Structure 1
Amino acid sequence: MRLDVRDLLATVLVAAIGILYVGYLGHGRMPFAHDTRGMAAMGLALGVTAFVVVRNGDKYDRVGQLETGLAVVALAFGMGAMVLAEGTVAENLLAAYVVVLLAVWGLELLDHAGLVPGHAPPKEMTRT
C-alpha cells in the first residue's frame, strides 16, 4: 500500500498541533491558544479533523480497533485538559493528549504504508 493525500493532510494537521504545542510550551501562549483551555481546544479541533481524514474509508479490523481505541484515549485526555484548565493537572493531560495523538497518527501512517501486521489484506483488483 502507499500513502496518499489523506495521509499528507493528516500529517499537516498533526504538524500544526505540534507547532502550536511547542510554541505554547515555549511562550505560554500562541495565536488561538492563549491558555491551556485554548491549546486543548485547538488540539482537539485539529486532532479530530486529522483522525476523521485519515480513518475515512479504512476497514475496522484489529489495527483499526486499536487506532480507534487510542483516539478515544487521546480525546479523553484532551477533553480533560480543556475541562480542568485551571488546575495544574491540565498541563499533564495536554502533554498526554499530544503524545497519544502522535501515536495514533504514527500507527495510521504505518498501517497505510502496509508495515503493520494484523490489518485486513487489501482486495486485489482482478481483470475479467
Structure 2
Amino acid sequence: MDKLKARDWIATVLVAAVAAAYIAYLVNGDIPFIKDPRGMSATGLILGAAAFFVVRRGDELDRVGKSESALAVASLALGFVALIFAETAAAEWLLAVFMISIAVVWAVELIDHAGLLPGHHPAGAR
C-alpha cells in the first residue's frame, strides 16, 4: 500500500468538516451559518467540491479516473437536487443521500491513491 499524500489528508480534513457540520446539524437542528437543509446542502457542495478538486489534482484521467469523476458528478448532482428541494418533505432524505455520496467519493479516491483498486497504478507509481 502506498503512502497517502498531503492532498489526501487535506481532502480528508475538508470531508471531516462536512461530516462534523452535518452531525452538528442533525443533533442541534441548526448551527451558525447552517439553519436548514439548504444551508447544509450549500456547505456540502462547497466543501465537497473543494475536497474533490484537491484530491484529484495531478491524477490521470484514465478509466479509473473517469469513473471517479463520474461518481463525483453524480454526487454534485445530488447536492444540487438537495439544494433545490430543500423546502420539501424529502429535504432531509435528499440531504442524507448527498452526505453519503460525498463520503463515497472521498473513500474511492483514497482507495485509489492507496493503490488498492485493481488494474490501476496510483498517481506517480509507474
State how far apart, in whole Å, the 1-side matches of 2:3 and 2:63 are. 20
Asked if the contact 1:67–1:108 (Cα under 8 Å) also holds between the matched residues in 2, the reply is: yes
Unaligned runs of 5+ in 1: none
Q: TM-score if structure 1 supplies the norm length?
A: 0.91
Instruction: Name 1:94's counterpart in structure 2.
Output: 95
Q: Tell me the percent identity.
A: 52
Instruction: Provide the rounded CA distance (Å) in 1 between the counterparts of 2:53 and 2:98.
Output: 17
1:68 and 1:103 mapped to 2: Cα distance?
12
User: What residue in structure 2 maps to residue 114 of structure 1?
Assistant: 115
Task: Give unpaired runs (5+ residues) of structure 2.
Answer: none
Instruction: Provide the alpha-carbon RMSD of the alignment.
Output: 1.3
What number of residue pairs does the alignment pair up? 124
Corresponding letter in the other structure for 2:24: G
State the partner residue of 1:35: 36
Instruction: Note if contact 1:9-1:53 (Cα within 8 Å) is conserved in structure 2.
Output: yes
Structure 2 SS opposite 1:115: coil
Q: Give 1:120 deviation, angstroms.
A: 4.1
Instruction: Give how far 1:118 is off.
Output: 2.8
Q: C-alpha displacement at 1:27, in angstroms?
A: 1.0
One-letter code aligned to 2:35: H
The answer as to 2:5 corresponding to 1:4 is: yes
Taking the aligned partners of 2:61 and 2:103, their CA distance within structure 1 comes to 20
Question: Residues 35-80 of structure 1, C-alpha deviation per residue, up to 9 Å, x if partnerless?
Answer: 1100000110000000000000101122211211111111111111
Higher alpha-carbon Rg = 1
Q: Structure 1 CA distance, aligned partners of 2:87 and 2:110?
A: 35
| Alpha-carbon distance in structure 1 between the residues aligned to 2:84 and 2:95 | 11
Is the contact between residue 115 and residue 121 of structure 2 (CA under 8 Å) also seen in structure 1? no
When normalised by structure 2's length, the TM-score is 0.92
